[in-house]
Structure 1
Amino acid sequence: MATAFKWLYRALGALAALSALALAAAYLLVAGSLPDYDRDFAVRGLGAPARILRDAHAVPHIRAETEEDAFFALGFAHAQDRLWQMELNRRAAQGRLAELFGPALLPVDRMMRALDLHRLARAAVARQSPRARAALEAYARGVNARLRAVADQALGRGAPEFLFFSRSIAPWTPADSLSIAKLLALRLSDHAAAEVRRAALSLLLPAERLRDIDPDYPEDGSIALPDYAALFPGLRFARPAAGAPRTAQALPAAGRGGASNAWALSGARTAAGKPILANDPHLWLSAPSIWHLARLELPGVGGIMGAAVPGLPLILIGRNERLAWGLTASYGDDADIYIEKLDPEDPSRYLTPEGYAPFRVRRELIQVAGRPPEEVELRWTRHGPVLPPDQLGLAQVTPAGHVAALSWTALTEDDRSFTAAFGLMLARDIDEGAAAMADHVAPPLNVTLADERDVGMIVAGRLPLRHRLNPGKGRLPAPGWVAVNDWTGYLRTPDLPRVMRPASGAVANANNRTAQAPYPRHVSFHWGDPYRIRRIRKELASREFHSRDGAAALQNDAVSEMARAVLPLIARDLWWTGAAAPADPVEARRREALEMLGEWNGEMTQHAPEPLIFAEWMRRLTLRLAADELGPAVELVAGPRPVFVERVFRDIGGAGAWCDVNKTTRVETCAEMAALALDDALGALAERYGPDPRGWRWGEAHVATHEHTPLGRFALLAPLVNITHEASGGDFTLLRAQGAGSGPEPHKVVTAAGMRMVVDFADPDSSLIVISTGQSGHPLSRFYDDQSLLWRRGDALRMSLDFADAEAGAQGVTLLTPLGPEGSDERG
């Protein structure tokens, strides 16, 4: 027996030693791709030596003798830090994700192949200005120089993910950069999704109730729409049964197209007498962040610093020595869905106003990991590409014998958006910045500008004009064979909204309505929520003068004007009814929750229970009100819908009818529905977080997960690669942290301000900037998440253009020196 135990211990010891050796080998293999920021390289494609200094947070500060060499160095730095992210986004734009991740991503690849973004990007390279094109080409040479160094010097494949998911990395091209720009535009456009959702709801609801559940922006007059089915007389539609598509989606869902806050104050409104600009774009969370900080020194231009998107040779949001600029989604209506009728005798043709015409057809092979490649037939109409029916819920709004096609302004070879952004980065004042953005196509943006004297805000982008007789007005999928549904041109740049040097000394936007122009010269019918802009206006008006620190504090403001507006409506009849000491435990719990909410100031802090109670109540109330009419399709409106709730509880246009359950004989009141929804919410929360409401915390449910793609989806690796933390704020606060709205974790944060910036021209080098994770995309790097804690507590890095500031605590200097055409070689 003793001998048996001895051999067992020996075996276990040997197994442990082998496991340790395996782990050590794996660590060394993965760690080999960590970039060394204090290592020099001789590279091809560079004209003269270039220097990349990494500051205390690994932000690259780049000096070069020519502009092209500076962008070469930026490409090299991006490839050091974010090569996997760049490759993933390039593959997404090309429709080549299933090649790595298998058949689950085939729906996304089919959609991206249909959109043909990469071909359009290749054609658009020649349309850029010579200076912008030179930057694209130099950047690509810099990325490829890093790829050669990785290959020649065995630097761990450049990123640890390549050890598992890809055996080769294609050279980078200028078209790859432009395709990533188009991919970003795609992620910021949800108008197509909004049209499909509105059509699905129209098939279930009368027009007056559709206006309630999918309302216009509350500060805009309503324009009557036809029922969707009335646009297709005699055709039958499947009854929408559920809102959440079951396959992977390439386009954002309605309401998920991104959001942002931005404002700028002239010197007349600031304590130091110089303009201040603040901007924080709200996009999807990821590890690493979509943003990467960088500083460039361009000969003849000077210093430029801000946030870049890896893959693009741009400072997309930032400042130079004389101008600061920020971007928010303008929600301009840049896309339409067209329902195209197939020829019943020949499905290779579709109906146009002049009769049947053939589709433009091409066939492509999609490589799929673990199975044979799939051949797809891709069709284009005169309006744009035919979309797969499993995207956006299109199958539910497309009659038999028809297909859906997309018109979107970005689907053009004549796209000079990169040139526009490049010109903005080099502009010297707000007028030059506004003029540069005249070339911008997609996505439609609000551009906030500040120079040393003045502030302004413009809308930039190509926005279609629609015929005055178009019955859907761009808000419903339209019959493609009816001529009045076609676009008639585009709004001229002078007709786009703009405010330059306002008398008030302030401009601001939180994706709110920007123009009063009536249809068809409007910008959009689909806007962001009205509550964030109300908060900005209120806070800016609350004091005469503002400071840099005050702007940063406002970006982190977690008070919900939505809660302050809606809570008194839904709770007013409950606060003053019921027994003072009810014997019913359900009613007692309700009374306690109402007492807590009655003392709450609307601040969505992660440490308090009231935000959790209110958020779950709002979610459950929407379900209670809408489930009766929508049935399983209530998923289409899942999540808090405060404008709908306000209409119902104010009985605007008869919206109070939603409170009555039409399947019962009695008439239910809104107070009853509010009480039932509160009981639903409290019961669900008690089951998950315990019986005592005072012990609940918003942060326990409101968790932000910056997920790594794809390693963050593996249970064993998720704790190592995902960045997870509790979060304050909510869907409608300036500190925006939008929840999922449905599913097992409805309050899980899915979008937030991945970058915050405040520029103060009174002391420009003390301006502030931070991203939500860190510079590096390598999970073993200490710069993978080092900015995360700063971001969570509302702090930031200094945005200094002084190289002496960067040198303090610098992590290293990479010197790039030119090499002949035969290869690359490490130096030093």
Structure 2
Amino acid sequence: MPPNTTATTGDKPGKSGRKKGRKARLIVLVLVLAIIGGIAYGAYWSISTVRASFPQTKGSITIKGLSGPVTVKRDGYGIPQIYASTDEDLFMAQGYVQAQDRFYEMDVRRHMTSGRLSEMFGKGQVKNDEFLRTLGWDRVAKKEYDTKLSAATKKYLQAYSEGVNAYLAGKDAEDISLEYAALGFVNDYKPEQWTPVDSVSWLKAMAWDLRGNMQDEIDRALMTSRLSAQQIKDLYPDYPYSRNKAIVQEGQYDGLTKTFQQSGSGSTSGSATSTGTSGSSTSSSTGSALTSQLAGLYNVLDDVPTAVGVNGQGIGSNSWVVRGDHTISGKPLLANDPHLSASLPSVWYQMGLHCTTVSSKCQYDVTGYTFAGMPGVIIGHNADIAWGMTNSGVDVTDLYLEKLSGDGYLYDGKVKPFTTREETIKVAGGTSKKIVVRQTADGMPLLSDRDDELVQVGKKATVNTAAPDRGDGYGIALRWTALDAGTTMDAVFAIDKAADWSEFRDSAAQFDVPSQNLIYADTKNNIGYTLPGKIPTRASGDDGSIPAPGWDSKYKWTGFIKQDELPYEYDPKRGYIVTANQAVVDKDKYPYTLTTDWGYGTRSQRITDLIESKIKDGGKISTDDMRQMQMDNSSEIAKLLVPKLLKINLDDKDVREAQKLLEGWDYTQDSDSAAAAYFNAVWRNILKLAFGNKLPKELRVKGQCLWVDKIDSTGPVDDDTKVRECGERDADQAQPDGGDRWFEVVRNLMNQPNSDWWKTPAGVGDRNKADNMNDLFKRAMVDARWELTAKLGKDIDTWSWGRLHRLFLKNQTLGTDGPSILQYVLNRGPWKLSGGEATVNATGWNAAGGYGVVWVPSMRMVVNLDDLDKSKWINLTGASGHAFSSHYTDQTGKWADGELLPWSFTDKAVDSSTSDTLVLKP
């Protein structure tokens, strides 16, 4: 959903009286809300204009197309459980119910995936649309629907669409959601009918945000302009396999050899070799052309709207499963909490899909989390199995520097023509714009065409003699598995009805994009892990770690790893499996290079240690133990650094006072901890001093330092009193984000206390230059003391981590750049949070931009395979996308406190928790 959507105000002469009426109603609505906002929240409910868009949840509604009655039971949090007698009726009802709660969100999502945001929000979204049209997600989705998906999947998608459209029938836009009243006021926007391709396209947006190492690929290439090969290696250390265990330790891959212990590290046809081998070859054929093109692309990518993540950066997730021999119940427990952007409403939608009688006519009895706009359940459980997901991080994207010549590009010494297509971007309240999209013969879009300045730089760029010298300039093209038609939608429906490990793994094999770590448990006390996905193989010498020369065919992908050659693990002897974005398998025990850029295993090893501490000496784990593990706030980097920091001699009594906060601190980042506040400020300043002025300025993180509205009981504050949600920094200075890669960087450099990385010039005032690690740590402690004095006050007794580490939930459309009163109406917060970067309770913050929460556990769940009704779940926000619904953010407070809600599954449990019942009649 677009973070920079702008709703302009005003009306053009000559518009209909109806539109003027809409404008009048909106003005009245905004005025009333402004007046009563400071009086009583409950007064909102008296406004009929707002309530008109709320879903009907009781009584009955007649819907054309159903073959029989469907019952929708909602609990006290508005979470629906749907009961039907056929598959088609079940998914049609799912579409209807999701549209009741979230259609505006669904509508924005499909405009993003199809590159049509300008039709809703005007000229401010044209650049984004140009880039999204170039990627062509909706075109790929249509090809999937037409040529790849099964007949059953198409039937379910069509039924879902019919349900959405049944909800839209006869409704004016302002009757659907408050936001449409604002859009209608501006441009007379009217939503279109829903289509199956609208649902499939969302998988492409999800894949984009979870695309793996493309950002690292760009960063490494840009670093070559300023850093040596050894310095770059310092900043991208090897994965610590001996300290942080890989996911698969006892697993198999059928197509090669039976066990990893037998496999060794021999190469297989099409596999990549050791990390970094492509560096010299690629860097010798690029020079200033690659640097200039990537620097421009960096800026283009930074502005692309996010779907579920933070533009591919900083995203993680936790999932783990414990077999019954280690649990109190004697059956498995499975936990999952994906870490995604903090969005309002939450990216997830909770629901249950139940056939009144499971049979060939109606095959589903499943519950869990899905996306508004998509049928089926993405993560959850059915009557037999449970499953969870984390992003695998495997390398499925490569950037190519293309040598342009006339209307084509150079390939093995010959000029090949681009495939082109013309796209027309319609603009609300403005003039349409046409663009031309160019693709290579492999279907790679030329991303650099989407920035005028980038095109000019490409034409003028020069490179060293290792690059071809003919033609007109250079451009950047993208090879990405998600641009090929796939079968992920088939996988969703197949997993939802899988009954055992064999069926689950066969179903998961169809989940080609985005590649995910899938964990599994069943009611028969089995657990497992499998890595599905369409994962490319590369020629020997190319590991995909940096952009490749597109004019040389030896850098072309050689194929894809076969599904039966991908790692999996079933019922390991240790009795548990942990996935948290760490390495899937030890690189010396698997013949393919899956990626060079795993997460560094900080969270996964902490979870493993927590499990081991519980089960040692025969201990057993409960559902609540799993919940408490999810809320673990321990800082691994603090455990490493604090003993060093406590040895630093400090002359300034005020800085010494702050240092004393760290004495006896247990490294737990609770929201009320002053020690956590000070330590994280020290950590941020260590990164800034050691690396900030030494990285290429092109790596600076944009969009993280923002002025945000302070929201309190009296309404939004004036612009001059908005809250700064990041630290001050030099706009021309790059800074590390502070993730667990930087944990590993600093850990390694601590063994080199006189490394040049620790050396800095003198600071402002009396801050001395740093000649070694201890000097730099001392200066960081001083700087952190005065930074927090400015932010939190001189009295350290008033300091707390939660005052720095706050979550603001902003509606991702009009809540970002719409009129200020609408932002106040649509947004919520702040919440003071515990946790932090690379903790299990991963309330992530970006050290390049400040301490505010950037990504979060977007939901949490614990499935109890002994008694499914004893499972627990929570969502970041609530079921509803309607700003004044009681279910808009009714789960957020409990989420912030680490609570989980009861998760009913059986008929008896659902009936017991039902508050409202709606019958949909044919």
Q: Kindly indicate whether the alpha-carbon contact (under 8 Å) linking 1:86 and 1:311 is maintained by their aligned counterparts in 2.
A: yes
- Residue of structure 2 equivalent to 1:721: 826
Q: Which amino acid counterpart does residue 224 of structure 2 have in structure 1?
A: S
Q: Which amino acid counterpart does residue 143 of structure 1 have in structure 2?
A: V
2:736 paired with 1:638: yes
- Residue of structure 1 equivalent to 2:54: 34
Which string of whole-angstrom CA distances, capped at 9 and with x for unpartnered residues, describes residues 387-408 of structure 1? 1467899889975611111111
2:315 paired with 1:258: yes
Alignment of 1:70-81 (within 5 A): 70-81=90-101
2:488 paired with 1:468: no
- Residue of structure 2 equivalent to 1:611: 676
- Residue of structure 2 equivalent to 1:139: 160
Q: Which amino acid counterpart does residue 287 of structure 1 have in structure 2?
A: L
Which string of whole-angstrom CA distances, capped at 9 and with x for unpartnered residues, describes residues 297-340 of structure 1? 13324521101111110110000000000010000111111111
| Structure 1 SS opposite 2:528 | strand
- Residue of structure 1 equivalent to 2:551: 481
Q: Which amino acid counterpart does residue 158 of structure 1 have in structure 2?
A: I
2:335 paired with 1:314: no
Which string of whole-angstrom CA distances, capped at 9 and with x for unpartnered residues, describes residues 263-287 of structure 1? 0011111112111111111111111
2:623 paired with 1:557: no
For residues 802 and 715 of structure 1, the distance between their equivalents in structure 2, rounded to whole angstroms, comes to 45
- Residue of structure 1 equivalent to 2:397: 335
- Residue of structure 2 equivalent to 1:231: 285
Kindly state the Cα deviation for residue 588 of structure 1 after the two structures are TM-superposed.
Answer: 1.6
- Residue of structure 2 equivalent to 1:825: none
For residues 103 and 41 of structure 1, the distance between their equivalents in structure 2, rounded to whole angstroms, comes to 39
Q: Which amino acid counterpart does residue 467 of structure 1 have in structure 2?
A: A
> CA, structure 1 residues 108+457, in 2 after alignment: closer, same or farther (shift >3 Å)?
same
Kindly state the Cα deviation for residue 257 of structure 1 after the two structures are TM-superposed.
Answer: 5.7
2:385 paired with 1:323: yes
Kindly state the Cα deviation for residue 250 of structure 1 after the two structures are TM-superposed.
Answer: 4.2
Q: Which amino acid counterpart does residue 683 of structure 2 have in structure 1?
A: M
- Residue of structure 2 equivalent to 1:163: 181
For residues 515 and 40 of structure 1, the distance between their equivalents in structure 2, rounded to whole angstroms, comes to 53
2:516 paired with 1:457: no
- Residue of structure 2 equivalent to 1:172: 194
Q: Which amino acid counterpart does residue 200 of structure 2 have in structure 1?
A: L
Q: Kindly indicate whether the alpha-carbon contact (under 8 Å) linking 1:56 and 1:808 is maintained by their aligned counterparts in 2.
A: no
Alignment of 1:395-794 (within 5 A): 399=461, 401-413=473-485, 415-452=486-523, 453-470=525-542, 473-517=543-587, 521-544=592-615, 545-569=620-644, 571=645, 573-574=647-648, 577-578=649-650, 582=651, 587-630=652-695, 632-633=697-698, 635=700, 636-641=734-739, 643-644=741-742, 646-648=744-746, 650-651=748-749, 656-661=755-760, 668-713=771-816, 714-724=819-829, 725-743=831-849, 746-794=850-898
Kindly state the Cα deviation for residue 121 of structure 1 after the two structures are TM-superposed.
Answer: 0.7
For residues 410 and 199 of structure 2, the distance between their equivalents in structure 1, rounded to whole angstroms, comes to 37
> CA, structure 1 residues 240+759, in 2 after alignment: closer, same or farther (shift >3 Å)?
closer
For residues 17 and 131 of structure 1, the distance between their equivalents in structure 2, rounded to whole angstroms, comes to 45
> CA, structure 1 residues 173+40, in 2 after alignment: closer, same or farther (shift >3 Å)?
same
2:112 paired with 1:102: no
For residues 392 and 320 of structure 1, the distance between their equivalents in structure 2, rounded to whole angstroms, comes to 51
- Residue of structure 2 equivalent to 1:386: 446
For residues 354 and 477 of structure 1, the distance between their equivalents in structure 2, rounded to whole angstroms, comes to 19
- Residue of structure 1 equivalent to 2:337: 280
Q: Kindly indicate whether the alpha-carbon contact (under 8 Å) linking 1:342 and 1:402 is maintained by their aligned counterparts in 2.
A: yes
Kindly state the Cα deviation for residue 652 of structure 1 after the two structures are TM-superposed.
Answer: 7.2
> CA, structure 1 residues 796+325, in 2 after alignment: closer, same or farther (shift >3 Å)?
same
> CA, structure 1 residues 477+20, in 2 after alignment: closer, same or farther (shift >3 Å)?
closer
> CA, structure 1 residues 440+392, in 2 after alignment: closer, same or farther (shift >3 Å)?
farther
Q: Kindly indicate whether the alpha-carbon contact (under 8 Å) linking 1:197 and 1:254 is maintained by their aligned counterparts in 2.
A: no
For residues 605 and 162 of structure 2, the distance between their equivalents in structure 1, rounded to whole angstroms, comes to 47
Q: Kindly indicate whether the alpha-carbon contact (under 8 Å) linking 2:293 and 2:476 is maintained by their aligned counterparts in 1.
A: no
Kindly state the Cα deviation for residue 217 of structure 1 after the two structures are TM-superposed.
Answer: 2.8
| Structure 2 SS opposite 1:557 | coil
| Structure 2 SS opposite 1:339 | strand
Q: Which amino acid counterpart does residue 166 of structure 2 have in structure 1?
A: A
Matching residue within 236, 239, 258 for 1:214: 236
Moved more, 320-329 or 393-402: 393-402
> CA, structure 1 residues 198+370, in 2 after alignment: closer, same or farther (shift >3 Å)?
farther
Q: Kindly indicate whether the alpha-carbon contact (under 8 Å) linking 1:264 and 1:506 is maintained by their aligned counterparts in 2.
A: yes
Kindly state the Cα deviation for residue 604 of structure 1 after the two structures are TM-superposed.
Answer: 0.8
Which string of whole-angstrom CA distances, capped at 9 and with x for unpartnered residues, describes residues 572-629 of structure 1? 541xx24xxx4xxxx2222122221132111111111111211122112111112342
2:286 paired with 1:248: no
Q: Which runs of 5 or more structure 1 residues have no equivalent in the other structure? A: 1-14, 819-828
| Structure 2 SS opposite 1:521 | coil
For residues 124 and 501 of structure 1, the distance between their equivalents in structure 2, rounded to whole angstroms, comes to 35
Q: Kindly indicate whether the alpha-carbon contact (under 8 Å) linking 1:560 and 1:603 is maintained by their aligned counterparts in 2.
A: yes
Q: Kindly indicate whether the alpha-carbon contact (under 8 Å) linking 1:98 and 1:109 is maintained by their aligned counterparts in 2.
A: yes
Q: Which amino acid counterpart does residue 183 of structure 2 have in structure 1?
A: F
Identity %: 29
- Residue of structure 2 equivalent to 1:271: 328
TM-score, length basis structure 2? 0.80
| Structure 1 SS opposite 2:447 | coil
Kindly state the Cα deviation for residue 233 of structure 1 after the two structures are TM-superposed.
Answer: 6.0
| Structure 1 SS opposite 2:476 | strand
Kindly state the Cα deviation for residue 354 of structure 1 after the two structures are TM-superposed.
Answer: 5.5
- Residue of structure 1 equivalent to 2:105: 85
2:295 paired with 1:196: no
Matching residue within 304, 313, 327 for 2:366: 304
| Structure 1 SS opposite 2:669 | coil
- Residue of structure 1 equivalent to 2:912: 808
> CA, structure 1 residues 572+809, in 2 after alignment: closer, same or farther (shift >3 Å)?
closer
| Structure 2 SS opposite 1:737 | coil
Kindly state the Cα deviation for residue 371 of structure 1 after the two structures are TM-superposed.
Answer: 2.9
Kindly state the Cα deviation for residue 792 of structure 1 after the two structures are TM-superposed.
Answer: 1.4
> CA, structure 1 residues 799+189, in 2 after alignment: closer, same or farther (shift >3 Å)?
same
Q: Kindly indicate whether the alpha-carbon contact (under 8 Å) linking 1:534 and 1:561 is maintained by their aligned counterparts in 2.
A: no
> CA, structure 1 residues 62+589, in 2 after alignment: closer, same or farther (shift >3 Å)?
same
Q: Which amino acid counterpart does residue 917 of structure 2 have in structure 1?
A: V
Q: Kindly indicate whether the alpha-carbon contact (under 8 Å) linking 2:72 and 2:83 is maintained by their aligned counterparts in 1.
A: yes
| Structure 2 SS opposite 1:406 | strand
**Root-mean-square deviation (Å):** 3.0
For residues 308 and 369 of structure 1, the distance between their equivalents in structure 2, rounded to whole angstroms, comes to 31
Which string of whole-angstrom CA distances, capped at 9 and with x for unpartnered residues, describes residues 514-548 of structure 1? 11245871211112242111110110000222111
For residues 446 and 18 of structure 1, the distance between their equivalents in structure 2, rounded to whole angstroms, comes to 46
For residues 527 and 569 of structure 2, the distance between their equivalents in structure 1, rounded to whole angstroms, comes to 9
| Structure 2 SS opposite 1:342 | strand
Which string of whole-angstrom CA distances, capped at 9 and with x for unpartnered residues, describes residues 73-132 of structure 1? 000000000001100110000001122223332222111100111011111113212222
| Structure 1 SS opposite 2:475 | strand
TM-score, length basis structure 1? 0.89
Q: Which amino acid counterpart does residue 659 of structure 1 have in structure 2?
A: W
Moved more, 42-51 or 281-290: 42-51
Moved more, 660-669 or 48-57: 660-669
For residues 461 and 393 of structure 1, the distance between their equivalents in structure 2, rounded to whole angstroms, comes to 36
Which string of whole-angstrom CA distances, capped at 9 and with x for unpartnered residues, describes residues 697-750 of structure 1? 11111111221122322432334322321111001111110113334xx11111
Q: Kindly indicate whether the alpha-carbon contact (under 8 Å) linking 1:260 and 1:328 is maintained by their aligned counterparts in 2.
A: yes
> CA, structure 1 residues 325+800, in 2 after alignment: closer, same or farther (shift >3 Å)?
same
- Residue of structure 2 equivalent to 1:824: none
Moved more, 508-517 or 520-529: 520-529
> CA, structure 1 residues 185+626, in 2 after alignment: closer, same or farther (shift >3 Å)?
same
> CA, structure 1 residues 144+646, in 2 after alignment: closer, same or farther (shift >3 Å)?
closer
For residues 663 and 889 of structure 2, the distance between their equivalents in structure 1, rounded to whole angstroms, comes to 39
> CA, structure 1 residues 297+663, in 2 after alignment: closer, same or farther (shift >3 Å)?
same
Q: Kindly indicate whether the alpha-carbon contact (under 8 Å) linking 1:306 and 1:316 is maintained by their aligned counterparts in 2.
A: yes
Which string of whole-angstrom CA distances, capped at 9 and with x for unpartnered residues, describes residues 34-67 of structure 1? 1121142211221221111112211111111101
